[in-house]
């Protein structure tokens, strides 16, 4: 398959017999595709890209057009899988300094992804006196962080612009039937989109969870979906390469995977990836710990640790072919900074040499690296990348012997928090936790 995501393991598997994992990977892929494995009621994402039809795309585009026309800001409220996918794609496609520039359409901002009081205060301060809309996203409809943010911004919007404007410019993305958000949306008459039952949060970026905010930000959701369809149809070789390599490395003592990019716009893509792999694989006291770095920035902070610290790391470098713009390094007659040796080169040429130099240095230091190449950062290749990582995660998780589609561990902090907040129904836990303090 040309013009697509490729996985290259040249500097990852030298001297290792990864071949023996081939059968395990094929078996895991078969388990995934036949729906015979653990968590098989959450496989709706597997054929999701090719099932998205014209009607769905048009509906999303129409809703986005209303928000784009009426609002200066659109606050997207959600956390985890109901936040990171949209954030990752919007950041990857946006001008780095969009926040400081005026542009076409509303600025998409995020809330409900933390409980930071000052964060919420500052955001409320920003949108006060401006027309804004809200996309509130929660599959369960009961998650505390987004529920608090929604209560605040809903009240603010209704007071500021009136009930009618609020009703027109609030969209809820939630379960088809269950949850507080579904009930609230029905009662208030908001437009709604459904998160399918069989698609878990971290696999939901190609549902309205991701597609609606991305469309509101002005990006081409058709191209994004088309890229994902390409991978759904032709991506298995790359999926297997990645799943095999990371399991081979894990079995060889490399317990930490660092996703490294040399492209600042991919910072949040790595945050999305961390949730996908962390929540899917970290179970039964097993799993590769997913970390990320932004190079070359972090070569000046984490570089020492990667080069020379404990040898439990492998690195996956996300390498981008073409940049969107060209910036040439100028010649300077005096050459006081000694940079004339790269004068006339474009900045990305230097970045690419830094990338190759880093990979070789890390291999020499005992950090094997995998390379994932994407031809450019655009909707099509991001769509490919999303689906590639999702499917590889399913295969990899089954190879590891876990259920990649649940997240029981996420509940532990919530139980304690509810007990400490004295939420009704948690009286026993409240007494127990108070006894520990
Ligand atoms: O991947 C997941 O399932 C989680 O990260 C959820 O997306 C996150 O906890 C938010 O849940 P909800 O969409 O129910 O508010």
286-308 pLDDT tens trace: 999 999 999 999 999 999 999 99
Secondary structure tally for the chain: helices H, strands E: 17, 10
Distance CA 317, CA 295 (A): 10
Active site residues: 279, 300, 414
Ordered by where they begin, the domains of the chain are 6-38+225-408 (3.40.50.10490), 48-223 (3.40.50.10490)
Task: Pick the atom of ligand 1 nearest to 407's CA.
Answer: 3
Report helix angle 21-34 to 379-400, nearest 10.
110
pLDDT at position 301 is: 96
pTM across the whole model: 0.96
pLDDT for the residue numbered 224: 98
**Which of 140, 193, 389, when mutated, tests ligand 1's pocket best, judged by the most ligand atoms within 8 Å of its CB?**
140
Cα–Cα dist 65/69, whole Å: 6
Helix 379-400 to helix 221-234 angle (10° resolution) is 40
Distance from C-alpha of 368 to C-alpha of 358, rounded to nearest angstrom: 11
CA 413 / ligand 1 centre spacing (Å)? 14
Quick one: DSSP state of residue 177?
S
Query: What integer pLDDT is reported at residue 17 of this predicted model?
Result: 77
Check residue 2 and give its pLDDT: 62
Which portions of the chain are predicted below pLDDT 50? 1
- Alpha-carbon span 6 to 4, nearest angstrom: 6
Contact 276, 391 (CB under 8 A): no
**103 three-state secondary structure:** coil
pLDDT at residue 428 in the model? 93
Alpha-carbon torsion, ordered 419, 420, 422, 423, to 10 deg: -60
The alpha carbon of 407 and the centre of ligand 1 are apart by a number of angstroms equal to 9
Pick the atom of ligand 1 nearest to 140's CA.
14
* Protein residues with CB under 6 Å of any ligand 1 atom: 79-82, 138-140, 143, 146, 200-202, 279, 407
**Count of CB atoms situated within 10 Å of the CB of 244:** 26
How far, rounded to the nearest angstrom, does the alpha carbon of residue 190 sit from its chain's CA centroid? 27
Task: Report the C-alpha gap between 319 and 265 in whole angstroms.
Answer: 12
- Euclidean distance between CA atoms 139 and 200, whole angstroms: 8
């Amino acid at each position: 398959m040309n013009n697509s995501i490729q996985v290259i393991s040249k500097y990852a598997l030298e001297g290792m017999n990864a071949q023996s994992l081939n059968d395990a990977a094929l078996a895991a892929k078969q388990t995934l595709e036949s729906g015979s494995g653990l968590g098989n009621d959450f496989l709706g994402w597997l054929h999701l890209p090719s099932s998205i039809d014209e009607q769905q795309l048009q509906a999303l585009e129409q809703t986005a057009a209303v928000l784009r026309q009426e609002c200066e800001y659109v606050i997207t409220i959600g956390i985890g899988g109901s936040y990171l996918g949209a954030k990752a794609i919007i950041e990857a496609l946006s001008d780095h300094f969009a926040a400081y520039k005026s542009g076409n359409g509303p600025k998409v901002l995020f809330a409900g992804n933390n409980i930071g009081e000052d964060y919420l205060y500052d955001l409320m301060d920003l949108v006060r006196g401006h027309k804004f809309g809200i996309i509130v996203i929660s599959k369960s409809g009961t998650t505390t962080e987004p529920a608090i943010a929604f209560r605040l911004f809903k009240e603010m919007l209704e007071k500021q612009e009136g009930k009618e404007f609020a009703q027109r410019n609030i969209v809820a993305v939630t379960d088809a039937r269950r949850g507080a958000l579904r009930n609230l949306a029905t009662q208030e008459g908001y437009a709604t989109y459904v998160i399918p039952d069989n698609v878990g949060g971290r696999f939901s970026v190609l549902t309205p969870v991701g597609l609606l905010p991305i469309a509101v930000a002005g990006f081409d959701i058709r191209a994004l979906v088309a890229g994902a369809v390409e991978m759904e149809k032709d991506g298995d070789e790359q999926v297997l390469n990645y799943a095999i390599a990371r399991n081979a490395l894990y079995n060889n003592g490399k317990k930490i995977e660092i996703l490294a990019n040399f492209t600042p716009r991919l910072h949040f893509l790595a945050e999305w990836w961390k949730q996908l792999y962390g929540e899917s694989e970290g179970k039964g006291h097993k799993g590769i710990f997913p970390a990320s770095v932004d190079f070359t920035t972090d070569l000046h902070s984490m570089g020492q640790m990667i080069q020379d610290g404990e040898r439990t790391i492998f690195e996956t470098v996300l390498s981008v072919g073409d940049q969107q713009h060209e910036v040439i390094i100028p010649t300077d007659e005096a050459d006081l900074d000694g940079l004339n040796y790269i004068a006339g080169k474009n900045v990305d040429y230097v970045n690419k040499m830094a990338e190759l130099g880093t990979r070789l240095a890390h291999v020499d230091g005992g950090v094997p690296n995998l390379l994932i190449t994407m031809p450019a950062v655009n909707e099509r290749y991001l769509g490919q990348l999303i689906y590639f990582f999702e499917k590889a995660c399913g295969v990899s998780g089954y190879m590891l012997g876990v259920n990649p589609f649940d997240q029981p561990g996420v509940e532990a902090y919530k139980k304690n928090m509810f007990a400490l907040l004295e939420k009704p129904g948690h009286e026993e836990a409240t007494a127990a936790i108070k006894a520990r303090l």
